[in-house]
Structure 1
Amino acid sequence: MSHDDIIRRSAAAQAAALGTGEISSEELTRAHLDRIAAVDGELNAFLHVNEDEALTTSRDVDARRAAGDQLHPLAGVPIAVKDVVVTEGQPTTAGSRILEGWIPPYDATLVTRLRAAGLPILGKTNLDEFAMGSSTENSAFGPTRNPWDTGRIPGGSGGGSAAAVGSYEAPLAIGTDTGGSIRQPGAVTGTVGVKPTYGSVSRYGLIAMASSLDQAGPVTRTVEDAALLHELIAGHDPLDSTSLPDPVGAYAEAARSRDVRGLRIGVIEELEGEGFAPEVRARFTESLDHLERAGAEIVRVSCPNFRYALGAYYLIMPSEASSNLAKFDGMRFGLRVVPEDSPTAESVMKATRGAGFGDEVKRRILLGTYALSAGYFDAYYGSAQKVRTLVQRDFTAAFDSVDVLASPTSPTVAFRLGEKVDDPMAMYLNDIATIPANLAGTPGISVPSGLAEDGLPAGIQFLAPIRADERLYRVGGALEALLEDAWGGPLLAKAPELATIAQGAK
C-alpha cells in the first residue's frame, strides 16, 4: 500500500485500517508528514509542523493497540489544528507578529480531548491574523494557497486548515468560525466544514476575536469524518462559562443514515439571488433537485432581516475584537517594542501594537472602538444588537415550518490572490450567507455542491435550529452520497491541481 493511497482515504477509512492492522499509526502519521514536507512549501497551509510529538503520540497509540487497550475510534488518525487554538509546548501565533514565538503553558479544552483520544497533532495551520479575514491573505506569515489552483485563495480565516485537508496533508483539522471561517473555506476548497451550535464545543483556549460569535468545529473531507470529530470535541466544559450542558449527539449515526424522506428544506430567498454567481446558483439548484428526488420537500422561506445581518455583524464583531485585543499591550506576553528616549508604558504599548498588528486588525480595532464610544454606542453597537435579535427571530419563524435551511455557502468560487485585498467591503461580502448563523448561534454545515465552469468547487450550506446539529449530518451525509453517485466519486478526485501537486510529493 502506497502512502499516496492511504492519505487519500477518509479519516474513518484510515481508522478502520489502523484497527485491522493494515497500517500502523506511526506509518500513517509519517505518510502525512512526508506529504506536508513535499507540498506545503507551495501551499503554506502550516505555520508550525509538530513532527516529533506527532510521531511520539503515534507510537504510543500503536503500543496501546498492540497491548489490547480500549481506544477511541479515531485514535492514531492525525489531525491539524488552526493556530488560534492554544497548544501547550507548541507555538500559537493567531497568525500575528504580536504573538510570534509565544509558547502557551496550557492546552485548549478541545486539544486536551484530542490528546486524550490519541490523535497525533501534525501542527498548527495558517489563518488570517486573529481570524480577521475571508481569504487567509491577512496572515503575518504569508497567504495560504488553494490546492485546486495555487493562484487563488483558500477562503478564510481558516484557509490553512481547509487547504491542509483538501491537499491530503491532514485527514482532519480543527477550525474556528466567527462569521463563516470554517464553512466558507470549505466551499472554495471542496471540503466539509461544520460550525456547531454555539456553546456545544468549548471555547476555553481559543484566542478570542468576538466571544459571542466564535465557535470551533471540524474541517474534513467527508460528512461522516466531520461527525466523528464533532463527537470527540463536543461536550460540556466547566472552564467555559458559555458551554452548554447538553449530551453529545449521535452525529456519526445521523451522517450514515442518508435518509431525507419527509425532511423539509427551506430555501432562503434572501441568500440566493443578486450577488451570487450563476454557476454557484446552478450547483445549488442541482443539489436541491437531488434531495427532492430522494424524498425531501423543498420549501421557499423568507428571512427578511438577513439582509441587515452583514452590517450588524461588522459592528458587533469589531466591537468585541477591540475589547478582546486590548490585552496585547506589550506588557504581559508576546511582542514588546521599546522605543528609544525614555520609554513610557503608553509609548511601549503604542509601538508594540503599531508593529505587531496588521492593517486589517487595526481597521477592525478602530471601527470597534468607535462603535463602543460614548457618543455612538446606542446608534451603532446598540442598534446592531437589536438587528441581531431580529435575525434570531427570523430563524425561529423559519424553523416553525421547515427542518433545515439551505443557501449557497459563498457567493462565488475562490477568487485570485490579491484580487480583493485592497477592497475591504468586497472582502466582507464573502460572508453574507454564513454570518446569520453566528449572530443567532445556530449550527451550519458546508458540503461540496459541484464544480463551476472554471473547474473550481462550490458549496451548499445547511442551517439547523440550535441544539439540532444531527439534522446537518443527516442532510449533509445524504447529499454527499447522492452527489458522489452522480459524479462517480468524491469531488476532490476531480481537482487537476491536486494531481500536479501529488506528483511533486512522490
Structure 2
Amino acid sequence: MSNNVITAMSLAEVAEKIANKEISSLEATDAALDRIESFGPKLHAVVHCDHEGARKSASKADEDIAFGKVRGPLHGVPLAHKDMYYRAGWVAACGSKILDGFVPEVTSTAIQRLDAAGALDIARLHMVEFAFGPTGHNEVVGTPRNPWNFDHITGGSSSGSGASVAGRLVYGALGSDTGGSIRLPAQCCGLAGIKGTYGLVSRYGAMPLSYSLDHVGPLTRTVKDSALMLQAIAGHDPNDPTTSHREVPNYLDGICDGVKGMRIGVPQNHCYEPVEDPVREALEASLNVYRELGAEVVPLHADSIEAANRFANVVMATEAATYHSKWVRERPEDYGAQTLSRLLPGFYYSATRYIEGLNLRSKILADFCGSVFEKVDMLHAPVIPIEIPRIDEADVGAKPGYMKSIASITHNTRAFNFLGLPTLSVPCGFTPNGLPTGFQLIGRPFDEKTLFRAGHAYERETLWCDKAPVL
C-alpha cells in the first residue's frame, strides 16, 4: 500500500486497519514522517518531529499487536500536539520567544490519555504566540500556511494543528479553544473540530490563556475521528478541579443513527447578521441537507448571546493580562506586536466589570439555554461568517480594515466559550475563493453525543470530509 493511500485515510480508518493487521503502525508512521519531511517546511506547521522516537514507538505498537496487546482505540496511530501542551522532556514554547527552551517536568493529562489509548505523539506543532489570536499569525516563530491556499489564513490559534491535519501530515492533533481556536482553523482548513463542554476535558499541563474560557480538544479530518479523540481525553481529572465527575458516554454508540426527528435551531439574531452571501449559500445548503435527512429546522431567537459575546472579551482579556503581567512588565520587547496589542487592553478593564461577567455567567447561560434548548436539540450557526481572508488582509500591519476582518472571524465563536457549551465545527463546502467554509452545531451541556450524531449524518451525506488539498 502506497504512502499516499495510507495518509489519505481518516484516523478511524487507519486505527481499524492497524488493529486488524492490514497495515502496520510503522507503515502508517513512516507515511506520516515522509509527509512531514516533504510538506512540513512548506506549511510551516511543525516545530519539531521526533522521527527516531516515532519509529521506535510504532515498532513497539506493532510488537504489542503481534502478541495480542492493543492499548486502546488509537493504538499505533500517529498524532501531534499544539506547542502549548506539556510533555515531560519536550520543549513547550507556546509559539513564543519568552518560553523558548522551556522543558516541563510533567505531561499534560490530555497527552497522557492519548498515550493510554495507544496513540503515537510524533510532533509538536506551531501556533499563535501564547494562543492569543484568531488568524494564525505569528511574527515571532513564523506563520503556518493554509494547505488550500498558502496566501490565506489557517485560522488560529491552533494554526499548526489545522494545517498539519488538513495537509495529511498526521491523522489528528490536539488544539485548544478559548474564543474559537479549534473551530476557526477547522473551518479555514476544511476539518472537523470539537470544543467540548467546559469541564469535560482536563486542562492540566496545558499553557493557560484564560482559565475561565480555555477548552482542550482535537482537530481531525472527520466527525467520527473527533469523537474518537474526545473519547480518549474526556473525563474527570483530580489535577484540574474544574473537570466534571459525570460519566463520559460512548460517543460512537448511535453515531450512525441519523437526525430524523431532531429539531435544529437557526438563530435569527447575532450569528447570521454579518454573513457574506457565499457563506450564507453554503449554510442554507447544509440546512437543506438536514431537512432531507428528516430533521426539522426551526428559526428562533437566542437570548443573551450578545451579552455572552461581550463578557467573553472582558474575561479573556483580563485573565490573559493577569497571567502575562510579569512578562509584560519585564520583557515586553520579546512579544510579537499583535500579541502585545491584544494583551494590553486587559490591564485596563475594571475589577467590577470582570467580576460582573463571572457573576452573570450562570444567568446568561440559563437565559440562553431556556430560549434555545426548550425548543430544539441543537443550534446551527456559521463559524466564520466571511470568506476566509488572505493573510495580508487580516494581520496587524495589513491594509486598513484588518480589525474588521479579525472582529468578523471571532464574531460567532467567543460566546460559546463564555457559555461553556459543546460546539462542533463541520465543513460544508467551498466559497468562490476556493477556501473551505463550515458551520458549527451547539448543544446542551455535556451533550456532545448528539452533536457527533448530527455532524456525522451530514458528513456521510455530503462527503466534504473526503476533499483534500493538493500540495
Please confirm whether the aligned pair reaches a TM-score higher than 0.5, indicating the same fold.
yes
Stretch of structure 1 that moved more, 409-418 or 149-158 = 409-418
SS of 1:54's equivalent in the other structure is: helix
Q: What is the distance in 2 between the residues matched to 1:216 and 1:305?
A: 25
Q: CA deviation at 1:386?
A: 5.8
Q: Is the 8 A contact 1:177 1:183 kept in 2?
A: yes
Alignment partners' CA distance in 2, 1:99 and 1:428:
28
* Aligned match for 1:438, one of 411, 417, 422: 417
Task: Identify if the C-alpha distance between structure 1 residues 52 and 159 changes in structure 2 by more than 3 Å, giving closer, same or farther.
Answer: same
Deviation, 1:47, is 1.4
On the 8 A contact 1:318/1:368 being kept in 2, the answer is yes
Instruction: For residue 97 of structure 1, give the secondary structure of its aligned residue in structure 2.
Output: coil
Q: Deviations over 1:157-213 (max 9, x none)?
A: 111101111010011111101111101111111100100111111110110000010
Alignment of 1:323-338 (within 5 A): 323-326=322-325, 329=327
One-letter code aligned to 2:163:
A
Which of 373, 377, 395 is equivalent to 1:399? 373
- Give the equivalent residue in structure 1 for 2:265: 266
- What aligned pairs does 1:354-365 form with structure 2 within 5 A after superposition? 354-365=332-343
Aligned-residue offset at 1:135: 1.1
Note the 1:335-350 alignment, pairs <5 A.
350=329
1:458 maps to which of 420, 437, 456 = 437
Offset at residue 264 of structure 1 (A): 0.8
1:193 matched to 2:171? The reply is no
State the secondary structure of the residue aligned to 1:38. helix
**Hey, what does 1:468 align to over in structure 2?**
447
> Quick one: distance in 2 between partners of 1:414 and 1:50?
32
The reply to whether residue 317 of structure 1 matches residue 316 of structure 2 is: yes
Confirm or deny: 8 A CA contact 2:384 2:408 kept in the other structure.
no
Could you tell me how far 1:396 is from its partner in structure 2? 1.5
| C-alpha separation in 2, matches of 1:57 and 1:355 | 40
Q: Which has the larger radius of gyration?
A: 1
Match of 1:242 in 2: 242
Q: How far is 1:138 from its partner?
A: 2.8
- Map of 1:427 onto structure 2: 406
User: Which stretch of the first structure deviates more once superposed, 424-433 or 387-396?
Assistant: 387-396
Evaluate the alpha carbon distance shift between residue 307 and residue 148 of structure 1 in structure 2; reply closer, same or farther with a 3 A threshold.
Answer: same
2: CA distance, partners of 1:130 / 1:426? 21
Contact kept in structure 1, 2:386 and 2:408, CA below 8 Å: no
Identity of aligned residues (%): 35
Pairs within 5 Å for 1:379-418: 380-385=353-358, 388-389=361-362, 391-397=364-370, 398-418=372-392
1:231 alignment counterpart = 231
User: Normalised by the size of structure 2, how large is the TM-score?
Assistant: 0.95
- Mapped to 2, the partners of 1:425 and 1:367 lie a distance apart of 17
Rounded to whole Å, the distance in 1 between the matches of 2:337 and 2:215 is: 24
| Helix, strand or coil at the partner of 2:252 | helix
- Could you tell me which residue of structure 1 aligns to residue 351 of structure 2? 377
Q: Distance in 2 between matches of 1:299 and 1:131?
A: 35
Displacement of 1:472 in angstroms is 0.7
**Does the Cα contact within 8 Å between 2:91 and 2:102 map onto a contact in 1?**
yes
Name the CA distance, whole Å, in 1 between partners of 2:212 and 2:73.
32
The whole-number CA distance in structure 1 between the counterparts of 2:457 and 2:436 is 19
Provide the C-alpha distance between the structure 2 equivalents of 1:83 and 1:55, rounded to a whole number of angstroms: 21
1:442 and 1:310 map into 2 onto residues whose CA distance is: 13
Is contact 1:305–1:390 with CA below 8 Å preserved after alignment?
no
Whole-angstrom distance in 2 between the partners of 1:104 and 1:27: 31
For residue 462 of structure 2, what is the aligned residue in structure 1?
Answer: 483
Q: Counterpart amino acid of 1:60?
A: K
Residue in structure 1 matched with residue 286 of structure 2 by the alignment: 287
Where 2:394 maps in the other structure, the secondary structure is coil
RMSD: 1.7
**Aligned in 2, Cα 1:119/1:43: closer, same or farther, shift over 3 Å?**
same
**Secondary structure in structure 1 of the residue aligned to 2:186:** helix
Counterpart residue identity of residue 474, structure 1: R
Q: Does the CA-based 8 Å contact 1:154-1:163 persist in structure 2? A: yes
8 Å CA contact 1:81–1:174 kept in 2: the answer is: yes
1:277 shift after superposition: 1.3
Q: State the alpha-carbon separation in 1 of the partners of residues 74 and 454 from structure 2.
A: 23
Q: Please give the alpha-carbon distance, in whole angstroms, between the structure 1 residues aligned to 2:212 and 2:255.
A: 28
Q: Residues 29-83 of structure 1, C-alpha deviation per residue, up to 9 Å, x if partnerless?
A: 1110110110111111111212222222211111111111143121000101011
- 1:482-503 deviations in Å (ceiling 9; x for gaps): 112xxxxx4452x5xx32x1xx
Compute the displacement of 1:305 (Å).
2.6
**Contact 2:80-2:170 at 8 Å conserved across structures:** yes
Structure 2: which 5+ residue stretches go unaligned? 397-401
Deviations 1:339-368 (A, max 9, x none): xxxxxxxxxx844x2232222332233211
Give deviations 1:236-294, integer Å, cap 9, x for gaps.
1011010111111211224333x111111110112443321111111111111111111
Q: 1:335 maps to what in 2?
A: none
Residue pair 1:271, 1:408 contacting (<8 A) in 2 also: no
Give the unaligned 5+ runs of structure 1. 330-348, 485-489, 502-506
Distance 2:271 2:235 in 1: 34
Three-state SS of the structure 2 residue aligned to 1:99 is coil
> How far apart, CA to CA, are the structure 2 residues paired with 1:55 and 1:428?
43
The structural deviation recorded for 1:425 is 5.0
TM-superposed deviation, 1:20:
2.2
Mapped to 1, the partners of 2:278 and 2:375 lie a distance apart of 29
Alpha-carbon distance, 1:456 to partner: 1.5
Q: CA deviation at 1:390?
A: 5.3
Deviation at 1:442, TM superposition (A): 0.5
